[in-house]
Chains A and B, each alone.
Chain A
């Protein structure tokens, strides 16, 4: 059992990871909007969902597998990815985790158990089930965790994988980040996802005899505690599990392209949401996972405002250094387009 001391220690490192994700994503938005040629196409950021990624990854062991989506930057950092190679990958530099091959849609980090990142809605869940299947066949106690959006439940591939993972009791954890909360937003066209007939996402998993949980995606403690239990049980053969993390979307993520309303996050907004742009105030007060964690740590006396601001300053600096690292990294040569088409040899 964790002592009170280790819980606070874990929360501090969770806070750092969450702030790092936010500061890196702010850099990504800035790079995309300040330069025409760095992030030329569509891209997706993880601001507002940090508690789900960080809470879930805290529960994973070093040998576990993780799968993510088009919205992958935050997941990879939550899993322990370094901001430098992450941003470098996002802008296609040779120092990126995949030497700039895949870009923002396909950040992959083999050393972290992230082996393939699909930008196809529904692409990840069957592969994650496959990694869980493989762990079982190979007789390891590895767990496979897959993050995906609520939109994935609209795809048939999800339901096929859900069925098989249930039939075969796979050590699979399906972490659905439902950022279409409140649901009215769907009907008003606020979210890119269209429509889903079930009122409760978790009912779908329950109908397939998969144990389902609903968790508050703004609360890293809730996510972390739930996942710590489920990962342990999945290792013991009690999987699969489905979790719906309910997320009230960051207002900057309402349109097709992210927008930093009022500029980068200011800690003053965390302490006093009323000082922020009016479009952000409710979200900062009720739903921002970073601000909620900061305020609760202060209220509990676990950290002072000053200590928290120091953590943020360090995260900001790391993100800035990562940006500089990425920008000063070499671009791939044109001819390198032709490398790594086929693997050499017959067995590895």
Chain B
């Protein structure tokens, strides 16, 4: 076991994916963002420079090129950069890639990974803060990874690459410095569709994704001080969704908070809450609470940005309310 940042674990995972399969190629390599640490990202370029193609500023074109490459035997990981830039490529991501397999009744696969750095990053303002996972969740045929820890990002990026389906891979900008343990003595494989109980507890289930995982763990510590024993369940992938693991936890606690940093209406928390209500209603001892972004665009100034950002405090308040 070694302590490392989320960025470092991601860089290791991407290199492992490249090393294990020659058909893996990178379209762009800006996984670490503008302030990406050269010590972390340098080795990727040194070892696999021949498999990195830097595209022009042409999201629609290069995502389409990745789709075409995936149809013909390569396994591209596309580093789109800021998640909102994927909107420029929406036709290829939402209306081409996911149709390949279904449209041929299984004859053709499209194993492409669309990687995006998304979420409220701090002064990303109106056009650089959007987390698009809920929109892509409304697009059948796309798998969606939303890791929330270093070990998970390393394992999931490899699973996303191995998968024969198009996959949206969301890295929250604020997870990059997060430190956690990664076991380099094993491959650290994580299958898609397997949730992880990040903390065990018996009073309330907090279902948290991506950046909300560390925020939920922080909230659980606060709640423990108030005598509320919270369980934190991290689905890790939205598609496939480990509904069973979520319902198992809810069956024990009877109380649920779903925390996610997308907008509340038709957001990630909404879909998970609806699934619990539909399939686990008899376990519930209180109405489900959602912690999410209110239905507004993302403002620039820190005071306003903080106001609409879901935090550990919001999770604590929601958990208190459902436990009352």
CB within 8 Å of A: which B40-72 residues = 54-61
CB within 8 Å of B: which A91-149 residues = 92-93, 100-106, 118-122
B305, A337: Cβ atoms closer than 8 Å: yes
Q: Which residues of A contact B300 (CB under 8 A)?
A: 92, 100-106
Residue of A nearest to B173 (CB): A41
Residue of A nearest to B297 (CB): A341
Chain B interface size, under 10 / 10 to 19 / 20 to 34 / 35 or more? 35 or more
CB within 8 Å of A: which B289-313 residues = 294-297, 299-308
Chain A interface size, under 10 / 10 to 19 / 20 to 34 / 35 or more? 35 or more
Asked whether A42 is an interface residue with its Cβ less than 8 Å from the other chain, the reply is yes
Nearest Cβ on chain B to A255's Cβ, whole angstroms: 10
Q: Which residues of B contact A278 (CB under 8 A)?
A: none
Given contacts A120-B88, A120-B127, contact A341 B296 (CB under 8 A): yes
Nearest Cβ on chain A to B284's Cβ, whole angstroms: 30
Complex: how many Å from CA A63 to CA B169?
46
Query: Which label, helix, strand, loop or mixed, suits the secondary structure of the A interface?
Result: loop
Q: Which residues of B contact A103 (CB under 8 A)?
A: 123, 125, 300-301
Given contacts A37-B302, A332-B301, A332-B304, contact A155 B296 (CB under 8 A): no
Complex: how many Å from CA A156 to CA B294?
33
Nearest Cβ on chain B to A102's Cβ, whole angstroms: 6
Asked whether B135 is an interface residue with its Cβ less than 8 Å from the other chain, the reply is no
B303, A331: Cβ atoms closer than 8 Å: yes
Q: Which residues of B contact A341 (CB under 8 A)?
A: 295-297
Query: Which label, helix, strand, loop or mixed, suits the secondary structure of the B interface?
Result: loop
Nearest Cβ on chain B to A139's Cβ, whole angstroms: 33
Nearest Cβ on chain A to B11's Cβ, whole angstroms: 19
B125, A155: Cβ atoms closer than 8 Å: no
Q: Which residues of B contact A27 (CB under 8 A)?
A: none
| Max chain A Cβ within 10 angstroms of own Cβ: one of B301, B302, B306 | B301
Asked whether A39 is an interface residue with its Cβ less than 8 Å from the other chain, the reply is yes
A118, B127: Cβ atoms closer than 8 Å: yes
Residue of A nearest to B298 (CB): A337
Write out, one digit per residue, whether chain B residues 106-142 have a CB within 8 A of any chain A CB (1) or not (0).
0000000000000001111111100000000000000
Asked whether A336 is an interface residue with its Cβ less than 8 Å from the other chain, the reply is yes
Residue of B nearest to A194 (CB): B56
Nearest Cβ on chain A to B303's Cβ, whole angstroms: 5
Asked whether A193 is an interface residue with its Cβ less than 8 Å from the other chain, the reply is yes
B303, A101: Cβ atoms closer than 8 Å: no
| Max chain A Cβ within 10 angstroms of own Cβ: one of B55, B61, B300 | B300
Given contacts A256-B34, A338-B296, A341-B295, contact A120 B85 (CB under 8 A): yes
Residue of A nearest to B85 (CB): A120
Complex: how many Å from CA A195 to CA B304?
38
Nearest Cβ on chain B to A288's Cβ, whole angstroms: 27
A194, B54: Cβ atoms closer than 8 Å: yes
Given contacts A105-B127, A341-B295, contact A100 B301 (CB under 8 A): yes
Asked whether A345 is an interface residue with its Cβ less than 8 Å from the other chain, the reply is no
Please give the residue numbers on chain B whose beta carbons come within 8 Å of chain A beta carbons, in ascending order. Answer: 34-35, 54-61, 84-85, 88, 121-128, 294-297, 299-308
The 4 closest A-B pairs by CB, nearest first: A103-B300, A92-B301, A41-B123, A337-B304
A-B contact pairs, 22 of them (CB 8 A): A40-B123, A42-B34, A102-B125, A102-B300, A103-B125, A103-B301, A105-B126, A106-B125, A152-B57, A154-B58, A155-B58, A156-B60, A193-B56, A194-B55, A332-B299, A332-B301, A332-B303, A334-B306, A335-B307, A337-B303, A337-B304, A341-B297
